[in-house]
Amino acid sequence: MSDVQFAAEIAKESGRVLLQLRAQARSKAMTESELKVAGDRASQEFLNRRLVESYPDDSILSEEATDDLTRLSNDRVWIIDPLDGTREYSEGRDDWVVHVALWKSGQLVVGAVALPGLDELLVSRSEPMGALNRGMRPVRIAVSRTRPPQIVAELSNHLDIEFVPMGSAGFKACAVARGEVDAYIHAGGQYEWDSAAPVAVAASRDLHVSRIDGSPLEYNQENPYLPDLLICRKELRAALLGAMAGITLQTT
């Protein structure tokens, strides 16, 4: 089985584990905060077991495990977020996902994002987007439903924008890859596991991916904090990066 097939299989299976757990939680009258903890843990245990069994020599960087830093001297590192959109998962919504990415010798080579609430799975493989035929309608930008970045609010002074609030970084990135929105912008804080698999999926579909200043997104860094990103249709890259470059944010 190839790395990408394996990533797809474990992301999808972990999604099934999470759906089952949530169904059982209802009958056990679990609270939302108990379900958040149980979901993170169940998916982490499942993904970790499958990765260690199949790739004992690889390193793993996970939101839900201690970073042992062996990854800094390994040329194969799995970057996983067992449950992205934990809040939305616990609220019974569909906008949560499972991320499995593989970083190899300096770059992301595989990404799988399972969207169990939609029964969909997006993997990195070459599938260019269709041409944009959007006439004059506003640019649709996916943003966090609970912490929309200030820079996106400011963007509406420069461009005709419709905000589309959603939970989960992977769900928003996949909304761009699925053609539901034109862009996903995040700023203000995130970690490598929040974006690695979605960025690999988006890049393989010939979408633009970068930091919001246009610089490259770099993974398997000693400090995995990666606070902002832009994923968009390539024809919007210049307009969005240009507008963001002209925005000065107020700091309080």
Residue type, 163: F
x/- contact string, 13-52, with Mg ion (CB under 5 A)? Answer: ----------------------------------------
Query: Shortest distance, CB of residue 83 to ligand A3P, whole angstroms?
Result: 6
Query: Shortest distance, CB of residue 133 to ligand A3P, whole angstroms?
Result: 28
Q: Which of 48, 150, 156, 190 is the binder for ligand A3P (CB under 6 A)?
A: 190
Residue 84 in the binding site for Mg ion (CB under 5 A) = yes
Distances (CA, A) of 76 to 20, 103, 218: 31, 6, 15
For 8-11, the CB contacts below 8 A with 24+ separation are 8/100, 8/112, 8/114, 8/121, 8/123, 10/46, 10/47, 10/50, 10/51, 10/100, 10/112, 11/98, 11/99, 11/100, 11/112, 11/113, 11/114, 11/121, 11/197
Query: Shortest distance, CB of residue 21 to ligand A3P, whole angstroms?
Result: 16
Which span sits near ligand A3P by CB under 6 A: 84-92, 113-121, 123-131, 208-216? 84-92
Residue 179 contact, options ligand A3P, Mg ion, none, Cβ 5-8 Å cut-off depending on partner type? none
Residue 192 in the binding site for Mg ion (CB under 5 A) = no
Residue 189 in the binding site for ligand A3P (CB under 6 A) = yes
Closest CA to 194 of 105, 104, 92, 64: 64
Query: Shortest distance, CB of residue 86 to Mg ion, whole angstroms?
Result: 7
d(CA 231, CA 185): 7
Where are any strands of DSSP class E within 30-75? 59-62
Query: Shortest distance, CB of residue 42 to ligand A3P, whole angstroms?
Result: 14
CB-based contact 111:123 (threshold 8 Å): yes
Residue 144 contact, options ligand A3P, Mg ion, none, Cβ 5-8 Å cut-off depending on partner type? ligand A3P
Residue 194 in the binding site for Mg ion (CB under 5 A) = yes
d(CA 170, CA 69): 24
Query: Shortest distance, CB of residue 2 to ligand A3P, whole angstroms?
Result: 26
Q: Which of 58, 84, 192, 228 is the binder for ligand A3P (CB under 6 A)?
A: 84
Can you tell me whether residue 9 is helix, strand or coil?
Answer: helix
Which span sits near Mg ion by CB under 5 A: 5-13, 82-90, 133-141, 238-246? 82-90
d(CA 216, CA 60): 22
Interface with ligand A3P (CB under 6 A): 63, 81, 84-86, 144, 146-147, 167-169, 188-190, 194
Interface with Mg ion (CB under 5 A): 81, 84, 194
